[in-house]
Structure 1
């Protein structure tokens, strides 16, 4: 059985490293113990699906979905961070390999897809722009 918390942490680290901006898990990220200033991203776990072997079998495939909220001070900044997040998760090199591997002991991420790209939502009263993206990650036991 895939450990969801490990997938969440691997994706959080991938986004933070590849975008160069803080990423929180379900909440505003902290930088040096203080709330991060925009731009930053927040990931949220969405439904988990299992496919293949019976639930009691440890060799089933798993599909995880995550929502990434890119938070910024301007429309352009939100789109910039969303572009970096999409490239971080979905980007491939000329050989077809992922630019940023998602590593999880005992599991291989064989598929990545864009489930939703909702675009930016400006909130002039809050001086914050939020851009929502959802990713589907497909996993199979390694080896």
Structure 2
């Protein structure tokens, strides 16, 4: 089974919306009611996919996906608040160690979530739009 990206991207975008309470665009500015969303919002971008584990001819390979989340806001404090919500949504666990937000992709189990890069905001405090970049690696294995 080869991991399809679209279901992963959709599941990840749903987690971002649930965790932040704000719109999330996939690869572009999110739309709300057919119009561009006002900040704060997130933009999710899929980055390179790698396969590993079993030989290439084996359909039960593990996969690693890399995603970038851009937190877009009008102020630095707002961008940091949104980035905190994103990190909690993707990396947060409850007291039993279970993920706070499930990444549900049919046929696959996400067994590891890692922070790959936390770049913070740009250094210009007078910027009209502020962006905060975070990258996450998600590791998957076929379920069942």
TM-score by length of 2: 0.96
Say if 1:65 and 1:136, in contact at 8 Å, map to a contact too: yes
1:71 matched to 2:72? The reply is yes
5+ long unaligned stretches in structure 1? none
Paired with 1:56 and 1:134, the residues of 2 have a C-alpha distance of: 30
Alignment of 1:1-143 (within 5 A): 1-121=2-122, 127-143=128-144
5+ long unaligned stretches in structure 2? none
In the TM superposition, residue 123 of structure 1 has moved relative to its aligned partner by 5.1
Q: Secondary structure at the match of 1:17?
A: helix
Say if 2:76 and 2:125, in contact at 8 Å, map to a contact too: no
CA RMSD of aligned residues (A): 1.2
Count of matched residue positions in the alignment of Structure 1 and Structure 2: 143
Paired with 1:55 and 1:12, the residues of 2 have a C-alpha distance of: 29
Paired with 2:104 and 2:57, the residues of 1 have a C-alpha distance of: 24
In the TM superposition, residue 124 of structure 1 has moved relative to its aligned partner by 6.0
Paired with 1:141 and 1:75, the residues of 2 have a C-alpha distance of: 40
Paired with 2:127 and 2:7, the residues of 1 have a C-alpha distance of: 33
Q: Secondary structure at the match of 1:18?
A: helix
- Runs of 4+ deviating beyond 6 Å: none
In the TM superposition, residue 52 of structure 1 has moved relative to its aligned partner by 1.1
TM-score by length of 1: 0.96
Say if 2:71 and 2:83, in contact at 8 Å, map to a contact too: yes
